[in-house]
Structure 1
Amino acid sequence: MTIQFLQHTLFFPMMIYGFGFLSLSASLVLPWALTGLVQGERITESLVKDVGQLSTVQEMPLPSRKLISAIPTATTFYVNSNGNDRNRGLTPSSAFRTIQRAADLTNPGDTVLIMNGVYRNAYPTGSVLDIKRSGRANAWITYKAYPGARPKLQHNGWHGIWIYNKASYIEVNGLEVVGNNRNITLAYAKSQKYNQSNPLTNGNCITIDGRAKGRTHHIRILNNKVHDCGGGGITATASDYVTVDNNEVFNNCWYSIFGASGISLLDTWNSDNSRNYKMFITRNKVHNNQMLIPWIENGKFQDGNGIIVDRSRNNGYRGRTLIANNITYKNGGSGIHTYESDHVDIVHNTAYLNNQTAVINYGQIMSNHSGDIKVINNILYSAPNRPISLNGGSTNVTFNYNLYNNNGSRVNAVGPNDIMADPLFINASNGDFRLKRNSQAINSGFRWNNLTTDVVGNSRVYGSASDRGAYEMRY
């Protein structure tokens, strides 16, 4: 084993502990059967247990999203898969061939424009792009698709994009990052279930890694297509001020032995003392992320969540996390999950037929040993007789103004304004979760201040009240 190999094994695993030692048993969680409710009946307060009232909501102002003013000395680098790394990289006609060549030259305020083509990892265990150089608060470094281009970062190493070495004030925008799942069979993955050194089965798509040579902060992952990685889709570990917005994240986590999920925030840390919103997971479509290989730690299937906020208590994290306007469907674990984490607002999401892994019964949205969690204005749709919402060992949790499908599924955590009804999706089987005109989710939600748009950017509120779920319909 070479020294180079040891360096990579130190940092690559994205161990997402979703449940850790915890298993859901009848003694821990006692689901309530609500089969007696008629279609559209409001869940009454007599069913509420350990559920906070909505008056406890402390809505935090969102940070300013104003554009950063241009830096006079900023440089734009161009990358083309047909370029040459001996070029200057300063015009489209003199583009570099690799993104890494441009990355190694960046300074605060610079932009790397990536043109059409397929970009691959330069060596077997490596990344397509290692981001190790930082911007500044007024001069972010941006990696984005050239206007009109659709570049693809295809890899079979540990990471498609790896952000580490204290790299901060970084934006990744409009790229497609593809892993190695299409080259792997389930039989091969099973043969590797004890091999912690195989990037072919465990590689991650986009990794923000504050464990590797210093903490990372102020990272934006925007408008990307992230899929087919054996490990995690978009993972941020030991980081702060992370925004994951308007990405499609799918077909990840299949073959990893490290318990990965579609989008995960793990061991978040405090770069300052702010208690406002600092972590954002918004407007993402997250689907078909599922564990097919058990977690090497305990031999269990317990992750493959769509979105998870995991162990933020480890570092005493004080900031708030906003999970809003996401669509999570047909993931192996929960659609949205918190584990040993605090100060999380889960608002205006649509979670549909998650818990695809047979042994997982977490519900569409799960609060697990967490605190100060608010679950408001969501649509939760579960398979018949499978849990919908779960509160396992958490405190100060508010479920309210959510809609649950009435198909005999079990609801563990409810609020006085939650209802049971068919949400009347336009075409859920084809991934269209807009609402039909007569849906009871329309004009029946709670107005969440400062969340002024929906999953596609339409303004909220349209009509007499907010719509529940990710979409604000225009009827």
Structure 2
Amino acid sequence: MTIEFLQHTLFFPMMIHGLGFLSLSASLVLPWALTGLVQGQKITESLVKDVRQSFPVQQMSLPSRKLISQVSTATTYYVSATGNDRNSGLTTSSAFRTIQRAADLTRPGDTVLIMNGEYTNAPGRGAVLGISRSGTANAWIKFKAYPGHSPKIRHNTWNGIGFAKQVSYIEINGLEVIGNNANVTLSYALSQKYNSSNVLTNGNCINLDGRGGGIHHIRILNNKVHDCGGSGISATGADYVTVDNNTVYNNSWYSVYGTSGMSLLQNWNSDGNQGYKMFITNNRVYNNRMYVPWIQRGVITDGNGIIVDISKSGTNGAYKGRTLIANNISYKNGGSGILTHESEHVDIVNNTAYFNQQSPELKKKGDIYAGYSSDIKIFNNIIYPSPGTNTNTNLYSNVMNRNVTYDYNLYPNLAVVIVRGIHDVIGDPQFVNASNGDFHLRSSSPAINRGYYWSSLTSDFEGTPRPSGSGYDIGADEYR
């Protein structure tokens, strides 16, 4: 898609990632000031639902992940489903009713604790929680579940949680965000495949859109994100984003925009740091899939588990920072489990991808692969494709890819392995119960102690120290 097209289009807040051969990806966004103007009525229908490359590998050190302490003047606000926005919000017994009421008062260092209950978008609003105030480097603003509670954000508008441009130093922690899929049938969604302004089918769960003013230093932690017609967790034009320990599923079903479970699109340089700045780690991502064609091409293009998209031409030039995608479990998605498209400086390490490419249109892409990309390292991954699909692809080798290294990965017997590293392992990974989502390794697994020593990755999907034996295991879980 051309820049001229983007400049002359009415934008809506969905992530678009077109991945067809020689195609460009794009993103559309409705300006923040307009997101509160659209509110659709509820639909009453029920849901119908072998390239060898040189070594050694140069690794980047991970920065400190310690939480930043709050300033002494910080305020804690409380929100409860039985609260009242006329309250002070300063105690559990005087809690606000809406999260937005607290958000509109926050200053650097403040925390909003959200108690049990269901929180929905008010009529005419574009999000249940619209974040427009920033923290600082020494005083983040945090929106967290009250200890022991499991609050739910349910919406049928553009975003469950949306971020204004230029917002920074925000943490979202321990929330459940639920979209509108249960109120949409596939037949209805297909009837809307040319309607880019239908909030009922196109809404996202958690959406950061920094085009026109970059977003930076955002942490999305420990959330459950599901059933949004659009993207699950998406960040466009952002920098220093950590997406860790989330469960993301059943998204991207009905949107006309090419969306995925998790996506980073056109990353933004807030500084010149070339170390790790973007982290997608320890997430479980599954059953995200496109059923409605991307409106710009009329075909199924995405519905991936995790994608890093067009960082070669970020919102202010090629992205200089490095991205770590590690310890994720990505399975049964419509597109690939994990991929990069027109991107660079990405390490895809110790992930488990299983039975992805569920969309027939995408079965030759690969469960984990890089396309039109450079400086990509794909190490220590278990890549277990669906029957009749590829583990990876060489469509982009030599001409379109530069310095893309696959090695120390494990592929099952009889898998179609297009690009193979000299230390790759062929064999049954021996999962405990993959059909039920249990990807722990049995004691006889050939993945044990066969991985590359990735020294900056010191734990696995569940926090177990890595390595736990004589060497690194392959895959998201370290055997113990």
Instruction: Give the TM-score normalised by the residue count of structure 1.
Output: 0.91
Report if aligned partners of 2:70, 2:140 keep a CA contact under 8 Å in 1: no
Partner of 2:452: 446
Query: Which residue in the other structure is 1:281 paired with?
Result: 280
> Is 2:234–2:264's contact at 8 Å kept on the other side of the alignment?
yes
What is the CA distance between 1:20 and its match in structure 2? 6.8
**SS in structure 1 at match of 2:472:** coil
Which residue number in structure 2 is paired with residue 14 of structure 1? 15
CA distance in 2, matches of 1:396, 1:9: 38
2:244 and 2:462 mapped to 1: Cα distance?
A: 11
Shift of 1:104: 0.3
Q: Contact 1:62/1:450 (CA < 8 Å) preserved in 2? A: yes
2:358 and 2:386 in contact (8 A); partners too: no
The answer to whether the 8 Å contact 2:14/2:231 transfers is: no
Could you tell me how far apart the structure 1 residues matched to 2:283 and 2:14 are?
A: 24
User: In 2, distance between residues paired with 1:258 and 1:67?
Assistant: 35
Preserved CA contact (<8 Å) 1:353 1:383: yes
**Aligned equivalent of 1:159:** 159
CA distance in 2, matches of 1:163, 1:335: 26
1:269 and 1:149, CA in 2 relative to 1: closer, same or farther beyond 3 A? same
Q: 1:371 aligns with which of 364, 369, 374?
A: 374
Deviation at 1:67, TM superposition (A): 2.5
Structure 1 CA distance for aligned equivalents of residues 96 and 236 of structure 2: 31
Encode CA deviations 1:185-230: one digit per residue, 9 max, x unaligned: 000000000001101000000001102x521000000000000000
Cα deviation per residue 1:312-342 (whole Å; 9 max; x = unaligned)? 0112101000000000000000000100000
Output the amino acid matched with 1:229. C
Once the two structures are TM-superposed, the CA of residue 125 in structure 1 deviates from its matched residue by 5.3
Match for residue 126 of structure 1?
126
Question: CA–CA distance in 2 between the matches of 1:278 and 1:20?
Answer: 29
State which of 311, 315, 337 in structure 2 corresponds to 1:335. Answer: 337
- Flag structure 2 segments of 5+ consecutive residues without an equivalent: 1-8, 25-49
Deviations 1:149-206 (A, max 9, x none): 0000000000000012311000000000000001000000000000011010000000
**3-state DSSP class of the match of 2:182?**
helix
| One-letter amino acid matched to 2:271 | D
In the other structure, the counterpart of 1:5 is: none
SS in 2 for 1:411: coil
For this pair of structures, how many residues does the alignment match? 439
Residue matched to 1:238: 237
Q: Which residue of 1 aligns with 2:45?
A: none
- The CA deviation at 1:444 is 0.9
1:359 aligns with 361
State the SS of the aligned residue for 1:242. Answer: strand
Give the alignment partner of residue 386 of structure 1, picking from 386, 389, 408. Answer: 389
1:459 to 465, 468, 478: 465
The one-character-per-residue Cα deviations of 1:19-53 (angstroms, maximum 9, x if unpaired) are 47449xxxxxxxxxxxxxxxxxxxxxxxx32x423
1:406 equivalent to 2:413? Answer: yes
Contact 2:17/2:301 (<8 A) preserved? no
Query: Cα offset for 1:382?
Result: 1.1
Which digits, 9 at most, give the CA deviation of each residue in 1:223-279, with x for residues without a partner?
A: 000000000000000000000000000000000010000000001011000000000
| Alpha-carbon displacement from aligned partner over 1:421-441 (angstroms, at most 9, x marks no partner) | 010000000000001110000
How many Å apart are 1:284 and its aligned residue?
0.3
Greater mean deviation of Cα atoms: 221-230 or 389-398: 389-398
- Residue 16 of structure 1 and its aligned partner are, at CA, apart by 2.1
Q: Which runs of 5+ in 1 are unaligned?
A: 1-7, 24-47
Q: Are 1:154 and 1:177, in contact at CA under 8 Å, matched by a contact in 2? A: yes
Match of 1:436 in 2: 442
- The answer (yes or no) to whether the contact 1:290–1:331 under 8 Å persists in 2 is yes
Structure 1 residues 125 and 357: alpha-carbon distance in aligned structure 2, compared to 1, 3 A threshold: farther
Give the structure 2 partner of residue 78 of structure 1. 78
1:269 corresponds to 2:248? no
Cα distance in 2, alignment partners of residues 383 and 303 from structure 1: 17
User: Counterpart of 2:313 in 1: which secondary structure?
Assistant: helix
Trace 1:10-89 onto structure 2 (pairs within 5 A). Answer: 10-19=11-20, 21-22=22-23, 48-49=50-51, 51-55=52-56, 57-89=57-89
Q: Does 1:298 align with 2:297?
A: yes
Counterpart amino acid of 2:135? G
**Retained in 2: the 8 A contact 1:250–1:287?**
yes
Name which of structure 1's ranges 358-367 and 372-381 shifts more when overlaid on structure 2: 358-367
Partners of 2:110 and 2:18 in 1: CA distance: 36
Distance in 1 (CA, whole Å) between partners of 2:18 and 2:234 is 13
* Cα-Cα RMSD: 1.4
**Could you tell me which of 338, 349, 352 is aligned with 1:350?**
352
- What is the letter of the counterpart of residue 379 of structure 2? I
Q: Partner of 1:417 in structure 2?
A: 423
Match of 1:320 among 322, 325, 343: 322
Indicate the SS of the match to 1:133.
Answer: coil
